[in-house]
Amino acid sequence: MPTDLITIGAIIIFLDLVDSLRSSGGQIVKKIKHAQKPFKGRWTRERRLF
């Protein structure tokens, strides 16, 4: 019985970790896509500053 509880706990932790990774991964992808859109404009702006 205790071993079953341990495995259930491990599965829950693993699923939670996968879910958090998936959500953070989606946010990272969104950030990358958002960064790529105004990339040319941003580069010219940064060059003007220097």
pLDDT in tens, 14-27: 988 888 877 777 77
pLDDT digits 0-9 by tens, 38-49 = 555 555 556 665
The predicted model scores a pTM of 0.43
pLDDT score at 14: 92
Q: Is the pLDDT at 4 greater than 60, yes or no?
A: yes
pLDDT of 35 over the 80 cut: no
DSSP per-residue letters across 2-49: HHHHHHHHHHHHHHHHHHHHHHHHHHHHHHHHHHHTTHHHHHHHHHHH
